[in-house]
Amino acid sequence: MEAETKLESFKAYVRKMKQYEEAIALIYWDMRTGAPKKGIGTRSEVVGELSAEVFRMSTSEEMGGYVDFFMQPEQLEKLDTISRKMVLECKKDYDRSKKIPADKYQEYVVLTSQAESVWEDAKHKSDFAMFQPYLEKIVATTREFIELWGYEGNKYNTLLDMYEPGMTVDKLDEVFGALRSKVVPLLQRIQASPNQPDRSFLDQQYDIAKQKQFSLMILNQMQYDFEAGRLDETVHPFATALNPGDVRITTRYLPNDITSALFGTIHEGGHALYEQNISSDLVGTNLCTGTSMGIHESQSRFWENVVGRSREFWNRYYGELQSTFAGQIDDIDVDTFYKANNHIHPSLIRIEADELTYNLHIMIRYELEKELINGSIQVADLPEAWNAKYKEYLGVVPANNGEGVLQDVHWAGGAFGYFPSYSLGNMYAAQFTNTLRKELPNFDQLIEAGNLAPIKEWLTDKIYQYGKLLTPSEIVMQVTGEELNPDYLVQYLEDKYKEIYGI
């Protein structure tokens, strides 16, 4: 009986931590979507205090007692699947977090909350010097934490594992190397092709209210539940999951770009579909979230690219886009629009990059992060190192730091180790799609009919419902029957772009 009582007490303790985290997430969303600038300093301290309380709970003697008790072999084997996984996750967090002093963690949370606000101004002004002291403190603290956490092999492995459990620098270098060896020659062939898409019609003003109207319609078509979410505006699009019944997304509307907000909204909608469709059995547990950022990004990239940039998608929705922007693209046929939205061209901005070169943007960030964390470059070196890698990998050089090293919010939030998730997501998405096409052979016809529900249901059954109950590798193996394989992404890119460019 003691074990049953202790289990209920443990679950209530975890639920309380999740409730704190939900409050923190709501404050964070508010800070990014319109909180008054003058309140950011004090609000950051509130986030720091609440986060520190969750941190204290995760490293408390009470949590230690639960972990010690339920990690006993005779106790662990008695637990049901969900309870056992909850305990294992708590142990992993406990062992890691116990090594960090609570006051140091609180200082770090306040620092990153303030840094994100400073980053917004610095990005707008293209002023790296304004942001540099904050980033230097964040990097120094991250290095300090790694020494306390410990690491095997490369120091960056510890950070990778936080976003993609089981991933290492050695594995990532291997899959990135395999991908790069195929992407670069394909890019060269595309650039040499005489069949370059016409994009001139995209260069005009598109009413933002109409952009929002069309984005909302597409989210509905994707089965995004507006009774369990909302769409807002922000500088850098993101999704925030408070619980499956409240998953919010943001986007950024550009008056001279009809595609940025649309594909950004679809991308964040993919994240949201994952979180909205986690099993109700996991609500209130530490498993009620995506299993990793790589698997999470597989869903945002799947909806944005495999579905949203497909020919079938635009066969279905292009007429409605023409009606929404009546008189602006009436004389542009669907094939021209489809090819324009799949134009391959090395660019400066990651979130606006095409499918092919996007992975090169990620590799640049990954390499810079490894160097930063291992101390081979310093924060002050970043603008120059960034520009050099962009010239080497993509043949372009930023005109200023706003479109260069300051373009992403991730480092302001201390999210080192996150960027590789995007390319891993592309690889997972292609691998999942290969299986999906076998199990839903009418996949293309469903998209062309605007019947996206069966696709979402398949993803819910195979991926979404499990939350963090399964590891990334368990999900991939269960769905596809093999480990992560970059060849599926290469094949997807080659098939699609050889047809578009006639190569």
- The enclosing H or E element of 391 equals helix 382-394
| pLDDT tens digits along 228-281 | 999 999 888 899 999 999 999 999 999 998 998 999 999 999 999 999 999 999
Rounded Cα distance, 300 and 17, in Å: 27
Contact predicate 424/167, CB 8 Å: yes
Could you confirm whether 499 is annotated as catalytic? no
| Contact present, 462 and 479 (Cβ < 8 Å) | yes
The CATH code of domain 169-501 reads 1.10.1370.30
420 neighbors 362 (Cβ within 8 angstroms): yes
How do residues 107-132 score in pLDDT, each as one tens digit? 999 999 899 999 999 999 999 999 99
Whole-number Cα distances in Å, 380 to 9, 134, 175, 377, 404: 49, 12, 30, 8, 14
| Three-class SS state of 243 | strand
Taking the C-alpha atoms of residue 311 and residue 314, their distance in angstroms, rounded to an integer, is 5
Segments in the chain below pLDDT 70 = 1
What three-state secondary structure class fits 169? helix
> Six-digit token pair at 372?
């930063």
Rounded Cα gap, residues 168 and 424, in angstroms = 12
What is the C-alpha separation between 405 and 135, in angstroms, rounded? Answer: 12
Q: Kindly report the backbone phi and psi dihedral angles of residue 250, in degrees, each rounded to the nearest multiple of 5, phi listed first.
A: -130, 160
List the structure tokens of 299. Answer: 């869903």
> Residue 352's pLDDT is what?
83
Is the pTM value of this prediction over 0.85? Answer: yes
Q: What is the pLDDT of residue 57?
A: 96
The mean predicted confidence, pLDDT, of the chain is 95
Distance CA 382, CA 368 (A): 8
Q: Which of 116, 120, 268, 297 is catalytic?
A: 268
